Amino acid sequence: MAAHIFDQRFSGNKWRYLLQCVLATVSAMLVLMVLNTMANKVVIASLGASCFIAFCVPHKKASSPRFLVGGYIIGIAAGTLCYWLAKTPWPDSLSILQSHSDVIFGGLAIGLAMFGMVVTNTEHPPAASLALGFVLGPWQLLTIIVAMVEIILLCLLKRLLKPILINLL
């Protein structure tokens, strides 16, 4: 039964699995410590998912800087656009846009981010949640700076550690 619960490669790589999870943990802590801010908790939460990708599949295309940074750029652009659309005063004939702005423009942010990422070949799923975070949280220029610095720092840390990392998935 235990064989069905654990990854088959785990038994031969226990220390590698532990090491990479610890490295991801420490990297996230370093990024959060350097930034010393929690500008938008939803935006910062995307860092956790990005760490997972960067450290679980460090040698896959999905964890390359093109996908990590490119996805964040698209997510920020989509989220920022939808945030401002959500805050736009709509005419009475479009009052549904005002009364349900978080739902409508939050969903639109995710869809636009997805579309932007797939057409530019920069798919990074956490960046779709990043776009949603920009709509739901208070939009600030600091939030954009924090998001970009966090993903660039994560890329630099992964690049530095890449020689000792293996793909866990």
pLDDT (tens, 9 = 90+) of the chain, 169 residues, equals 555 787 777 778 788 888 888 988 887 887 777 666 655 676 677 888 999 999 999 999 999 999 999 999 999 999 999 999 988 887 776 777 777 888 899 999 999 999 999 999 999 999 999 999 899 887 788 888 888 988 998 999 899 999 999 998 8
For position 118, what pLDDT does the model report?
Answer: 97
Tokens of 65: 């800087």
HEC assignment per residue over 110-168: HHHHHHHHHHHCCCCHHHHHHHHHHHHCCCCHHHHHHHHHHHHHHHHHHHHHHHHCCCC
| Separation CA 155–CA 169 (nearest Å) | 19
| Separation CA 73–CA 91 (nearest Å) | 31
For position 100, what pLDDT does the model report?
Answer: 83
| Separation CA 134–CA 113 (nearest Å) | 12
For position 54, what pLDDT does the model report?
Answer: 94
Give how far the C-alpha of residue 50 lies from the chain's centroid of Cα atoms, to the nearest Å: 5
Other Cβ atoms less than 10 A from the Cβ of 33: the count is 8
**Alpha carbon separation from 169 to 111, 134, 141 (Å, rounded):** 27, 30, 36
For position 137, what pLDDT does the model report?
Answer: 80
Other Cβ atoms less than 10 A from the Cβ of 72: the count is 29
For position 75, what pLDDT does the model report?
Answer: 96
Query: For the whole model, what pTM was predicted?
Result: 0.85
